[in-house]
Structure 1
Amino acid sequence: MNAPTLPSLSPDRMDAIETAVFGRIADERDRRRRRRRAVWTGVGAAAAVIVVAAVVGPSLSTTSGVSGSSTVAGAGDSAPEGGTIDQSAQGFAGSEAGSAPVAPGQSGAGARSDASSSTDASAREIVSTGSSTVAVDDIGTAIEAIGNAATAAGGYVESSQLGDGGVVMPLEGVSTGATLSSGWITVRVPADSLAAVMDGLGTVGEVTATSVTRSDVTDQAIDLRARVAAGEASVARLTELMAQAGSVSDLIAAETALADRQAQLDSDRQILQSLSSQVAMSTLSVQLTARTASVTADPAGFGDGLAAGWNGLVATLNGIVIGLGFLLPWVVVAGIAAAAVWGVRRVVRRRRAARQG
């Protein structure tokens, strides 16, 4: 039987066949290389997701735990009484600067300057406000001790709070012996006794923080006293005019003016009295926290180490699960985008191969 004879090939045809064969081999190598690259990329992405989940998970659980905790009211939550009075008095002084009585031939600025000079020679009027943080063994006992110290110094308890419930109660409502984690007390004491009372806090517990704020209100007090004097003189003059009124219209006008001046005088007296009270009686706010027991070192054995390792493993896995849950939406969106890009590139390759074929 005769063997089939193959047609002779021209050199150009042989070169074309060799080029096509080598091209297919190169394409196959490229496919394998892309497959290996895709596999390693997936492995690396999975490892990166796990690492990120392990890092992000604990922080997410910690953040959620912190956001769910309740806030404990402290001494800083109550605004000092002195700041409000100072601002009110200062604003009132600015609006009524021209109402102070001025001696003949002397300007208002000169009278205020002379008053300030005479005040500089005497004691300045200072509003003092103190605050401290004290770690104690028993919150109720500490509140009672601080209240007794303030009363002994000639002051009184303004407000106090036990626990985290936000309920303000008088000193009589304090129940010693209760296990509480925090509390605070605000007392008013004579200004010259503030330092002694604050020093005495060391006998109640461990003072961890303390501060004293002093505000000079001498100028506000001078302006208020000048307004009170001017108001009293004006009220006395209007009272005389009412007695000398010759008609009903004059009497009504004098009564109206007298009512306005009397209301302004009463307001100035009240502000001056409050300012003088703040100068004479300082405010002290004490934040009380439960003292934490010191932890003594205890050498652990194999069982303790195993338990600690297991707890650490569970905590890490929990963090990874939380992190995966956090990253899952991002991974899905990134996967969809990658699939779309891969599909477009595949269509482009097919069209390019069809054109070359």
Structure 2
Amino acid sequence: MDGQVVRRRGRLLAVTALAAALALTGCGGSDSGSADTAAEAPAANGDAARDNAKGVPEAAKAGEPQQGGAGAPQEAGTGAPDLRVDQRAIIYTGSMRVQVGDVDAAARDVSALATRSGGFIGGDQRRSAGADAVAELQLRVPAAKFTGVVDEIAKLGVQQSREISTEDATEAIVDLDARITTQQARVESARRLLARATSITDLVSLENELGRREADLASLEAKKRRLADLTALSTITVALVGPAAKVVEPKAETGFLVGLRGGWKAFVASLTVLLTVLGALLPWLVALGVPAAALLLVLRRRKRTPIPTAPVSAPPPVPAARSAP
């Protein structure tokens, strides 16, 4: 009986010790949480004070994308590509030939038209004078005014030809933006490493690497500026000809490469014709050639098989003639 009482008292003491340990753990966790909260509050207040000192508005901070599920759909919608035609980067290029009565007067009208539309004359070449005069003008006009300028130029005289082409540069510009962002990060990384260099060898190596990365970044930025210029200002090449101007026909090309291209085209054309004829004859060859080949094989086998013949018996021996006594 005394043993049972001792065991019960031991269990009671163990349960009491476990409860006390759990209570101490909970108190320690709440204290640490309070301490963390108390530590974060001054830090947050300090960040807010620094932002206010820098002039960062609270509305801008409130509009920043939040981490988590609420901000994910907003970021996905923001990063989605805009497929509307008016939001895409289109490069317009046009060329036209117009016959006019007075080439110089028409050239002045074209120049004034380009200036009124917000563009400028990129090139001006004139040949001869009088009725056979020719003026070639290169116009750079805003993309939004491209169609209107082309129509106005066509009204200056008799339009003989017009060629207009477009090129969608949206994907190229988006790709360049991404590559420029990445290259800028690489340049900044190289600059930080250069600031921490401690030896002459590392300094020279990092300077060379930084120069190469900056050159690549400058090249990408130049390509982007070129695409931006082409999309913002369209190019129109205008040929103004007088009433007696001759139509310039394209000159025939000569030379080894021209002959090589012509020979290759003739070879490809001949090979195509040959394959076409072979394809047309192939069903007939199969339909007639297979039976003919089988018949030929049977005849050859018959010629090779020997014909059995009956054995020929030897003639009886002739008795020898007796001589007279």
TM-score, length basis structure 1: 0.44
**Which protein, 1 or 2, shows the higher relative CO under an 8 Å CA cutoff with sep ≥ 6?**
1
